[in-house]
Structure 1
Amino acid sequence: MAPHIAIPVIEPNQVGEARRAAARLTYEMGFDEVTSGRAALVVTELGTNLARHAKEGVLLLGSVTTGAGRTLEILSLDLGPGIADLRQSLADGHSTGGSPGTGLGAVRRLASDFHIFSVPGSGTAIVARVHAKHAPLVAATNGHAFSVGGLCIAAPGETVCGDSWAVRLHGNKAQIMVADGLGHGPQAAEASQAALHVFETATGAPHAILERAHTLMRSTRGAAVAIAELDANAGSLLFAGAGNIAGRLLSGVDDRSLLSQHGTLGVQIRKLSDASYPWPDHAMVVLHSDGITSRWNIDGARGVLQQDPVLIAGWLLRNNLRGRDDATVVVIKRAREQGA
């Protein structure tokens, strides 16, 4: 999955930077003029809202492929005052700051897909997607048993990201990989991409794929890598990893860590094995690199568990980003648990 572009929005002039970045992405994705214009309005509205009302606001822009085709994915994240009345804020025409459009109601109307979560006093996370071509929203799951979303952003000052992630869906089974190349920059990206290539071409249990990647990554600087394999029918999870990729199995009543062993793929590892865990119906799995602090929690915001996986990833990133390294968060849960 391609990294998202992160654009801080503290001042109004940064909204223009975000709009220009969105224009570049939609051009590369082949959007027509009308759809590109809709995407620009969504970015402008969300950016203006951040500049006027938020604290430590950031827009994330990503070119992704969903069941509906090529899509511009836009996240608005902030640590601001939050929204006390979401229903009122989403009323078409409601705007507290004289923004160019008509507030969040306009964003929801213009976007192909829209999700919002806010906690008064703790900030807001918004996901808005604009599809290159109109398609039913139900196509996003593509008939699979899983709902998956992730975010990957480069370290400050870097033009490439040393992290990577990927997912393979096979009906009621899924495998997810997260890789973090040592350090950051082009050589870290080379290492994580080497792990990604093995994941995309190899088959077998998580530990077997990692062992194959270890052998083929010896010419790189190495990477921390973990793979989770989920079986929706059996309600089970297999996990194997080397290095500091963190895994959590999280529900409203339980929070369990998935343990990786010490080592670095491509450099040195001990013999790997798969750990097995039960996967309760309402639990989601989170994998993330060490660009995210490991001791995060969702106290005071448990309602986020019912949200879109990308929104959950954004909420975790917004609260727990270390800010000095590449960062990746991936969330997967059963498709029927996806929130509105």
Structure 2
Amino acid sequence: MEVIPGWTHRAFNMEDASCVGEARRHVARLCGERAWPEVDAARAAIVATELATNLAKHAHEGRLLVAARDPLGDVEMLAVDSGPGIVDVPRAMRDGVSTTSTPGSGLGAIVRQSNFFDIQSAQPQGTVCVARVAPGARPGAMPGAPSGAAYAFGAVCVPVAGETACGDGWLLALDGERAAALLADGLGHGPEAAKAAQAAVQCFAKRPFGAARETLPPVHEALRTTRGAAVFALWIDPAQVAYAGAGNVIGRLVSGTFDKTMLTAHGTMGVQARRFEAQHMPLPPHATAIVHSDGVVSRWNAGGLAPLLQRDPALLAARIYADFSRGRDDVCILALRARDAE
């Protein structure tokens, strides 16, 4: 069994070229704190610079999300915007192609310096791409899950503007053909909300594959010394999905032909929660499970997301973040699917 504690992204709004340096310095700082070799830290800085520059020059509402994925040993950079989109992605990735009288090596440089890269663009919705850089790893070696894992996953976790601590937290556990996940949304935001979310995550990590009636009561008790949290626990195997929890964290199963919302009981873990029985449903073919906090609107339209369902799940999480965030709360989105759905 492998337990993967969740990470938090820092969001940079790319309003103009002056914002590029801040993002680059943040990536350099993450690499320095982890004692990366100089050559790898330089690669990460190049990727951050090119992604941020493209957003500042070409994008409407461009944002760069950066996280050190310490359990997987890399730095992840997600670039997302609200348009206008790229007309011809393969052509744009060739060196020398430019729409702004520049050398036109931006996307090509990102691909060359990254260990993993994926992109999806549509007009007029916009573009989302993911780049990951790891020290000493060869290009193409860093997909959206541990090597050999039965599930691919991606997450976006961003604190509300003005806060550095995120009141949302998440965790994923993988065990062969089984996966278990928990997303906790501490009441409010800031350090005390983060304390509650992490208490839930850490308690669940001790026994992630236990039955809901055995696993969630200890989470409820662990949260009693905090302000409490909305909690959603999810279990997936090849045959079915089970879920349980309390509060306004929402789950959803989405495929090209299926869209089902998963809701838990009312209440707040650590304050008032009475039901800990899991609900079950068959796992539809090729389905992606999405769990998100109430920083995302509850009734978002999945229709435009179909092209992302078979891509790196981080792209899907980032697109939901860009299109459906409320803008006034922490946001956490976890997307998970079986690799045989790829």
The verdict on how the C-alpha distance between 1:65 and 1:101 changes in structure 2, with shifts beyond 3 A counting, is farther
Q: 1:216 Cα deviation (Å)?
A: 1.9
Q: Secondary structure at the match of 1:20?
A: helix
Partner residue, 1:241: 245
Q: Is the 8 A contact 2:258 2:284 kept in 1?
A: no
Partner residue, 2:268: 264
Identity of aligned residues (%): 43
Confirm whether residue 71 of structure 1 aligns to residue 77 of structure 2.
no
**Paired residue type of 1:13:** S
5+ residue gaps in structure 1? none
Matching residue within 167, 170, 173 for 1:165 = 170
**Paired residue type of 1:231:** D
Q: Secondary structure at the match of 1:3?
A: coil
C-alpha separation between the residues in 1 aligned to 2:202 and 2:103?
44
TM-score, length of structure 1 as denominator length: 0.94
Partner residue, 1:305: 309
Partner residue, 1:205: 211
Partner residue, 2:105: 102
Q: Is the 8 A contact 2:182 2:231 kept in 1?
A: yes
The verdict on how the C-alpha distance between 1:100 and 1:19 changes in structure 2, with shifts beyond 3 A counting, is farther
Q: Secondary structure at the match of 2:205?
A: helix
Matches within 5 A, 1:11-50: 11-50=16-55
Partner residue, 1:126: 129
Partner residue, 2:150: 145
The verdict on how the C-alpha distance between 1:300 and 1:159 changes in structure 2, with shifts beyond 3 A counting, is closer
Q: Is the 8 A contact 1:93 1:102 kept in 2?
A: yes
Partner residue, 1:9: 14
**Paired residue type of 2:186:** G
**Paired residue type of 2:241:** L
Confirm whether residue 220 of structure 1 aligns to residue 194 of structure 2.
no
Matched residues, number: 334
Matches within 5 A, 1:316-335: 316-335=320-339
**Paired residue type of 2:46:** L
**Paired residue type of 2:82:** L
Q: 1:101 Cα deviation (Å)?
A: 6.7
Q: 1:98 Cα deviation (Å)?
A: 4.8
Q: 1:97 Cα deviation (Å)?
A: 2.6
C-alpha separation between the residues in 2 aligned to 1:95 and 1:23?
27
C-alpha separation between the residues in 2 aligned to 1:81 and 1:51?
13
Deviations 1:287-321 (A, max 9, x none): 00000111112323411111101111001111011
Deviations 1:174-194 (A, max 9, x none): 100000000001110111111
TM-score, length of structure 2 as denominator length: 0.94
Q: CA RMSD in A?
A: 1.6
Deviations 1:186-243 (A, max 9, x none): 11011111101111113512343221111121111000001100012xx201100100
The verdict on how the C-alpha distance between 1:273 and 1:36 changes in structure 2, with shifts beyond 3 A counting, is same
C-alpha separation between the residues in 1 aligned to 2:219 and 2:121?
40
